[in-house]
Amino acid sequence: MTNPAPALPAGFGSRPLLESDHLPVLAAVGEWWGTPQAPELGLLLPRLFFQHFTVLSEVVEVTDDAGSPRLAAFLIAFQSATHPDRVYIHFVGVDPQWRGRGIAAGLYERLFSAARALGCTRVDAITSPANRGSQAFHAALGFTAHGDQQIEGVAAYADYDGPGHARVALTRTLD
Ligand SMILES: CC(C)(COP(=O)(O)OP(=O)(O)OC[C@H]1O[C@@H](n2cnc3c(N)ncnc32)[C@H](O)[C@@H]1OP(=O)(O)O)[C@@H](O)C(=O)NCCC(=O)NCCS
């Protein structure tokens, strides 16, 4: 079944990701996640994603009190080069002050529509066993979690992203 993308709250708008979003997104990740984890997370967002993976990627902006757009959320996703019938979600983040308003759900539903238009039938993503919020979000968006053993109380794959970096694999069929 096709769900329409939830409307963004008043004052918010979405647009395609641009190369010029690279440094603002890195700054936002530092701000939104706090300093201890931010440098590690920033390494997941090299400029190449903002150069070569923009077709299905989006940002959400909110107009601030001065009338200027401010980054509120971003999604980096792409059609798999290996499996063209799949879309891979690399990173999603919403400013903590704007969470719980359907902004990420809207980003995902717009992505699903664009992916269907490309003929894709499956969406993949991963998250860490400790990230229960991400797991709950993806379950709410229709993803199934996969793993071959219990790690930190959830099904996950050990050493998926390197020694000590277990991941929960997430998949969703597009019908
Ligand atoms: C996960 C994240 C993207 C969700 O963004 P959001 O805009 O707050 O999510 P939405 O408001 O669109 O929520 C959509 C659904 O997911 C559920 N959900 C979202 N975050 C949740 C949480 N932390 N715990 C439980 N459920 C959650 C909502 O209840 C909602 O379900 P519903 O439709 O049944 O009401 C956001 O919390 C975030 O940026 N987290 C940090 C980054 C991260 O973990 N990214 C994912 C791994 S890279």
Going by pLDDT thresholds of 50, 70 and 90, the confidence category of residue 1 is very low
Q: Which amino acid is at 42?
A: G
Residue nearest ligand 1's atom 20 by CA: 137
Q: Give dist(CA 163, CA 68) in Å, integer.
A: 44
Q: Is the CB of 91 under 6 A from ligand 1?
A: yes
Q: Give dist(CA 165, CA 175) in Å, integer.
A: 32
The pTM (predicted TM-score) of the whole model is 0.95
Q: Is the CB of 71 under 6 A from ligand 1?
A: no
80-111 pLDDT, tens per residue? 999 999 999 999 999 999 999 999 999 999 99
111-125 pLDDT, tens per residue? 999 999 999 999 999
Which runs of E-coded beta strand occur in the chain?
12-16, 58-63, 69-79, 86-94, 122-127, 144-146, 149-151, 154-156, 168-173
107 CA to centre of own chain:
8
Residue nearest ligand 1's atom 36 by CA: 94
Q: DSSP character for 96?
A: G
Residue with tokens 């708008």: 13
Which residue of 32, 99, 170 sits with most ligand 1 atoms within 8 Å of its CB, as the best mutation to test the pocket? 99
Spatial CA neighbour of 122 closest among 82, 173, 60, 71: 173
Q: DSSP character for 132?
A: H
Q: Is the CB of 29 under 6 A from ligand 1?
A: no
Question: Number of helices (H) and strands (E), helices first, in the chain?
Answer: 5, 9
Q: Give dist(CA 121, CA 151) in Å, integer.
A: 29
- Set out the domains of the chain in order of their start, with CATH numbers: 1-120 (3.40.630.30), 121-175 (no CATH)
